[in-house]
Amino acid sequence: MSTALKQKLHQKIEAHRPRTTRLLKEFGDTKISDVTIAQAIGGMRGVKGLVTDISYLDPNEGIRFRGYTIPETLAKLPKAPGGEMPYVEGHLHLLLTGDIPTESETLELVKDMQARSKVPTYVFDVIRAAHKDTHPMTLFSLAVLTMQQESKYSRAYAKGIGKMDHWDATYEDCIDMLAKLPEIAAHIFRMKYRNDNIIPPNPKLDMGANFAHMMGINKPYDDVARMYFILHSDHESGNVSAHTGHLVSSALSDPYYSISSMLNGLAGPLHGLANQEVLRWIQGVMDKMGNKVPTEEEMKKFCWDTLKSGQVVPGFGHAVLRKTDPRYMTQREFCLKHLPNDLIFKYVDMMFKLVPPIMQEHGKAKNPWPNVDAQSGVIQWFYGLKEYDFYTVLFGIGRALGVCSNIVWDRALGYPIERPKSVTTSMLEDMAGIKK
Ligand code: HAX
């Protein structure tokens, strides 16, 4: 299938390839990073070893999608009629091409994704065969993996397509899959938490509006969904979910394998599951407080109790950021506008003010400021989505947009299989000069 978006992408890829080839051929020996022992043991923090043009995370500014800050992205992308937030599909166009799409370019992708959105019945059969206590993230990852046999990329590879054409079938798989994720997610939600009362999709709606419809949540939840998917889409390449997607894809595993894997990484409590953990933490405090708002002194004690017991305060800290996450601030502004008097928001607001000085006094975390996950659950809760085990699935739909965009470009630029070198502890001791 050749859409205008795909043709544009093709031109961009052709224009970009010589840049990568030249860097490799003429400047391949230029150093961009050194690695210390602390970095090798400590999760490669700060080691520059990945290349992406989809987004860049500046520690002191936060994320830019294709060069645009979050406020710029939200202001420039075409908006759904009557909506405060842009079409998710327009954002996907931006991530893929680097261009802010026109309204008609956006609507073309909306239509294309509507046409690809029908989820095969066997996907639901597989989800339904799982144990009733299976976590929603497990079901979500399972559903994506189950669809692997649909892969156009795997079929094309088996036929022997040339390396320069890999991106084409990868693109097809990515758009096919992304179009189906909202229905799969909503199905998991309604099956688990709404007595299996499934709401069929409305294929005339855009991604955000259709998701709200299938979840059974009224306006402005369509805008909430759009905002969520856009904000969570990409955070450059080194985070666990993006890196996992890139790594698995580098073995030429198809996008279904790659996205299922990246979801498994997102499901960790230090990464995407932190949004669920924030609400669980707040609920724990609320239970102890009998649902009244704690005083500042009481709230400080809850934080210190968590830290002293050796646990992390979920939603605070970051491996790269050294300021409050702009994704947090966008959601905070949304809360101040739409739910300023909500009880949970009062807790979140109190944590916004009280936790950073406590983290600084505690003296461990390099970044005491809140990240995206500290502010996202409260909005869902306010709109009736109180089953916080489901929150990371929302993150997963959004993150799939960024990881898919990266995978398409990885294949377009022919990035090789990823294979960093490991060393032994004994070798490190040798290098440190401490071995007798
Ligand atoms: N509460 C308590 N301690 C914290 C902390 C927090 N929120 N954040 C960091 N620390 C601790 C670390 O556990 C580490 O302790 P040890 O030396 O005992 O191992 C120390 O401070 C130094 O850590 P760091 O260098 O500042 O942070 P890392 O780069 O190692 O880790 C994390 C970054 C985000 C994993 C970390 O800040 C954390 O665990 N935060 C809480 C969980 C969370 O909110 N995760 C979501 C992050 C955003 C994201 O990816 N969303 O998907």
Cβ(90) – ligand 1 distance below 6 Å: no
Give the CA distances from residue 143 to residues 130, 189, 327, in Å, rounded to whole numbers and listed in that order: 11, 13, 28
138 part of a folded domain: no
- Encode pLDDT of 195-225 as tens digits: 999 999 998 999 999 999 999 999 999 999 9
As a dihedral over the C-alpha atoms of residue 381, residue 386, residue 387, residue 393, rounded to 10 degrees, the angle is -20
Q: What does the pLDDT read at residue 290?
A: 86
Q: Give 273-341 as a DSSP string.
A: THHHHHHHHHHHHHHHHTTSPPPHHHHHHHHHHHHHTT---TTB--SS--S--HHHHHHHHHHHHH-TT
328 part of a folded domain: yes
Query: Mean pLDDT throughout 76-88?
Result: 95
Q: Are 207 and 190 in contact (CB under 8 A)?
A: no
Cβ(401) – ligand 1 distance below 6 Å: no
- For residue 291, pLDDT over 90 is answered with no
356 part of a folded domain: yes
- Phi and psi at residue 198, in whole multiples of 5°? -80, 135
Q: What does the pLDDT read at residue 11?
A: 97
Q: Are 255 and 384 in contact (CB under 8 A)?
A: no
Query: Mean pLDDT throughout 260-288?
Result: 95
User: In testing the pocket of ligand 1, which one of 318, 362, 376 has its CB within 8 Å of the most ligand atoms?
Assistant: 318
Query: Mean pLDDT throughout 56-77?
Result: 98
The question of whether 373 is a catalytic residue gets the answer yes
- For residue 297, pLDDT over 70 is answered with yes
Nearest CA residue ID for atom 44, ligand 1 = 315
User: In testing the pocket of ligand 1, which one of 237, 324, 364 has its CB within 8 Å of the most ligand atoms?
Assistant: 364
The neighbour count for residue 134, using CB atoms within 10 Å, is 14
Q: Are 132 and 27 in contact (CB under 8 A)?
A: no
Mean pLDDT of the chain: 97
346 part of a folded domain: yes
DSSP 253: -
Q: What does the pLDDT read at residue 1?
A: 66
Q: Give 229-260 as a DSSP string.
A: HHHTS---S-SHHHHHHHHHHHTT--HHHHHH
Q: What does the pLDDT read at residue 162?
A: 96
- For residue 336, pLDDT over 70 is answered with yes
User: In testing the pocket of ligand 1, which one of 234, 358, 366 has its CB within 8 Å of the most ligand atoms?
Assistant: 366
Cβ(274) – ligand 1 distance below 6 Å: yes
Least confident of 61-75, 135-149, 278-292, 389-403: 278-292
- For residue 436, pLDDT over 80 is answered with no
Whole-angstrom distance, CA of residue 41 vs CA of residue 38: 5
Q: What does the pLDDT read at residue 2?
A: 75
User: Helix, strand or coil for residue 57?
Assistant: strand
282 part of a folded domain: yes
336: number of CA atoms within 13 Å, CB side? 7
Cβ(245) – ligand 1 distance below 6 Å: no
**Paired tokens of 236:** 């450059």
Predicted TM-score of the model (pTM): 0.97
- Encode pLDDT of 129-185 as tens digits: 999 999 999 999 999 999 999 999 999 999 999 999 999 999 999 999 999 999 999
Q: What does the pLDDT read at residue 270?
A: 97
Q: What does the pLDDT read at residue 59?
A: 97
The question of whether 235 is a catalytic residue gets the answer no
- Encode pLDDT of 86-128 as tens digits: 999 999 999 999 999 999 999 999 999 999 999 999 999 999 9
- Domain ranges, residue 349: 274-382
Q: What does the pLDDT read at residue 292?
A: 83
How many angstroms separate the alpha carbon of residue 222 from the centre of ligand 1?
A: 32
- For residue 189, pLDDT over 90 is answered with yes
User: Helix, strand or coil for residue 353?
Assistant: helix
- Encode pLDDT of 362-414 as tens digits: 999 999 999 999 999 999 999 999 999 999 999 999 999 999 999 999 999 99
Cβ(101) – ligand 1 distance below 6 Å: no
Cβ(317) – ligand 1 distance below 6 Å: yes
CATH number at residue 332: 1.10.230.10
As a dihedral over the C-alpha atoms of residue 326, residue 410, residue 46, residue 236, rounded to 10 degrees, the angle is 0
Cβ(272) – ligand 1 distance below 6 Å: yes
Nearest CA residue ID for atom 9, ligand 1 = 365
Q: What does the pLDDT read at residue 367?
A: 98
338 part of a folded domain: yes
Nearest CA residue ID for atom 23, ligand 1 = 365
205 part of a folded domain: no
Whole-angstrom distance, CA of residue 152 vs CA of residue 166: 10
Cβ(78) – ligand 1 distance below 6 Å: no
- Phi and psi at residue 63, in whole multiples of 5°? -80, 145
Number of structural domains (the chain) is 1
Catalytic residue among 91, 213, 232, 271: 271
Work out the percent of the chain whose per-residue pLDDT is above 90. 97
58 part of a folded domain: no
